[in-house]
Amino acid sequence: MRPYSLLFDHLLTRTDPEQAHHAAFAAIRAAAPLTGKGYRRLVPDCSVKALGLDFANVLGLAAGFDKNAVGIDALAALGFGHVEIGTVTGEAQPGNPKPRLFRLTDDRAIVNRMGFNNDGAEVVARRLAERRRERDRRHQGHGPILGVNIGKTKVVPEEDAVADYEKSTRLLAPEADYLVVNVSSPNTPGLRNLQAVEKLEPLLTAVRRQADAVAPKRVPLLVKIAPDLDDDDVLAVVDLASATGLDGIIATNTTISRDGLASPAGRVEAVGAGGLSGRPLTQRSLEVLRLLNQRTDELTLVSVGGITTLEDALARLDAGATLLQGYTAFVYEGPMWPRTILRGLAGR
């Protein structure tokens, strides 16, 4: 058994998941000087061009792990070719009451109802600007491709959502390599209603216009969708994305479904509401990706949801994904997981 598996099974599973996350993330940041030195030796060169950007490799870290842009370069040192921070909202917010993060270990899954807890767009924008200045001062170059995922502030009513997203865009687009409009988290009331085409179109148009007004160069814009959309709605989002000049789609976010879980029903019920991520999403996320790929050959497709093994990664690339993202597998498999996947991809 690998050392991380022993640590996870015998220690981390007995620790509150949110506390374990903060401790693990702190350790990743502290170890960055060492992990960064070994990066080129341990991670093969498998660069890819997408969204008009040069990615070091196809595998990135999905939004949700680094909500506040405090460990971008440390995470990249583990092998991720891009890091997507957030979700960031226009206003700072504490998120939902704790406990709000749970493991379903029998399913290699996580349930979260974090509620977009983050420092807010103003603070995160300042942090990103300081990081950029510090890298320039140290002659460290650009660093990993940086995605910024933005969402709606909980207290902002749905009718004011566009202005809320515009605020985040105005502050964050100048620091982002690409921007993601998140309308698919199940943990902000009313958010998923914005996936409806009649509401999504003015939102995406406003974000695109605002990004163009403030960024020194064009920032690619993507939308992140839920796996719970039915097939017709998935296709409608593709058509809208193409019509409004979007650059790509990230598929998929977490699910509210609890179908087919191996975990005891009592455990699932005790965990309660929230978005489910991990292995149970593998099949539906792949199905959504195939739908998207059949509908468009213009948009960059980023696949996330249930990618754990090399075979999972290869299946997504074969189904039309240009880029991949992980989150839950990183939690369960440990810090060597991105390098393991990338070495496998390079060998195949």
Residue 115 in marked binding region: yes
**10 pLDDT higher than 60:** no
Contacts 24+ apart (CB under 8 A), 258-266: 261/104, 261/106, 261/107, 261/109, 262/106, 262/107, 263/104, 263/105, 263/106, 263/107, 263/109, 264/106
Condensed to tens digits (0 to 9), the pLDDT of residues 70-84 reads 999 999 999 999 999
pLDDT (average), residues 16-24: 95
Share of the chain above pLDDT 70, in %: 94
73 is in an annotated binding site: no
Q: Which residue has tokens 């191996």?
A: 262
Confidence at 259, pLDDT banded by 50, 70, 90: very high
Q: pLDDT tens for residues 190-206?
A: 888 889 889 999 999 99
In this structure, what token pair is assigned to residue 310?
């090399």
Q: Per the annotation, does 67 bind a ligand?
A: yes
12 or 255, which is more confident: 255
- pLDDT for 6: 60
Q: What percent of the chain shows pLDDT beyond 90?
A: 86
Q: Does the predicted model carry a pTM greater than 0.85?
A: yes
Please report, as a single letter, which amino acid is at residue 335.
P
Residue 37: predicted pLDDT: 62
- Residue given tokens 């914005």 in the structure block: 194
Q: How far is CA 101 from CA 74, 110, 151, 183, in A?
A: 23, 7, 19, 20
pLDDT of 56 > 80? The answer is yes
**254 labeled binding residue:** yes
pLDDT at site 293: 98
Q: What tens digit of pLDDT does each residue of 92-132 get?
A: 999 999 999 999 999 999 999 999 999 999 999 999 999 99
**Known catalytic residues?**
185
Query: Is 108 marked as a binding-site residue?
Result: no
Domains of the chain: 3-347 (3.20.20.70)
The residue written with tokens 């009718």 in the block is 159
DSSP string, 65-79: SSTTSS-HHHHHTTT
96 annotated to bind ligand: no
Is residue 3 scored above 70 in pLDDT? no
Average confidence score pLDDT of the chain:
94
User: Is residue 275 annotated as involved in ligand binding?
Assistant: no
Confidence label for 7 from pLDDT (cuts 50, 70 and 90): low
Query: For residue 144, is pLDDT > 90?
Result: yes
For 160, residues 6+ apart whose C-beta sits below 8 A from its C-beta are: none
